Structure 1
Amino acid sequence: MHHGYEEPVYLISVVAKVLTIHPQTLRQYEREGLVRPSRTDGKMRLYSQQDIDKIKMIQRLTRDLGVNLAGVDIIMQLKDKIDDFEVLVESLRMELSGLTKKSTQTKNPLVKHKNSYEIILFGE
C-alpha cells in the first residue's frame, strides 16, 4: 500500500523501532515542538514519512553534530524560512521571466539603462 509523504500512518512504536530511538525520546521531540504527529480520535500518535524524515534530521544534528534540542529548533526554523524564501525567489523569477518576455515582445525594455558619468576634480 502506497501512502502520501504527509499522510500520518505510522504508530510511535513502529517509528521508534525503525529509527532505533526510544518512544520517550519521540514524545520529548513533540513536547519541544520539533515534531507534530497527528492524533487519532483515541489520541494515538500517527507519524507521516515527512515526520520520520524530520526525526532523522534531528538525530543527525544531535547524535552526529552534538547540537542540543534548542539548537535543533533554531536550525529547523531557519531551514523552514530558507525553504519559504526559495519558493518566493522561484515565484519572482518566473514572474520576472514573464515580464521580460512580454517586454521584448512589445520592444519596450523593462529596465532602461542610463549612462551616467562622474567627474572628479582634484584641486592643486
Structure 2
Amino acid sequence: MRIIRYLWASPYTALGCLVGATALATGGSGKLVDGVWEFHGGAAVRFLNRLPLPNVAAITLGHSVIGRTAQALEDTRSHERVHVRQFERWGFFMGPAYLGCSVVLWLRGRDYYRDNPFEREAYAKQ
C-alpha cells in the first residue's frame, strides 16, 4: 500500500526533486527525513521567492519539501507532513484541487491561502 501512495504522488515528487537537484547544484542542501526529501538553500530560495505568497518558508510537492533554510524545514515539518498526506490522498489531482480552491476563494473575496481547506487542515493538525 505504501508504494501506491508514493507512486500516486510521484509526478509532484519528481518536480520537487528537480527543484531540489537545482538547489543542490547551486549550493543548497538536501536530505531524506522519514521518507520525504527535504531541500533548502541555493536555487530553492529563488524558487520560493517566485511564488505568489510572500515570505513562504516551505512548500510541499508530493514526497518532497522545498524550504528556505534547514531551520525553516524543521519549523514547518509537521505542517508540511500534512500536505504530504494530502498528496498521498489526492495524487495528480492535488495541484488542480488546491489551485481551484484558491481561485474560488479569491473570487469570493476571501483569503486564498488561509481559507484554503488544504491549508486549514494542515494548520489544524500541526
Q: Higher strand fraction: Structure 1 or Structure 2?
A: 2
For Structure 1 versus Structure 2, the TM-score category normalised by the shorter chain is under 0.3
| Higher RCO (CA < 8 A, seq sep 6+) | 2
More helix by share: 2
What TM-score do the two structures reach when normalised by structure 2? 0.27
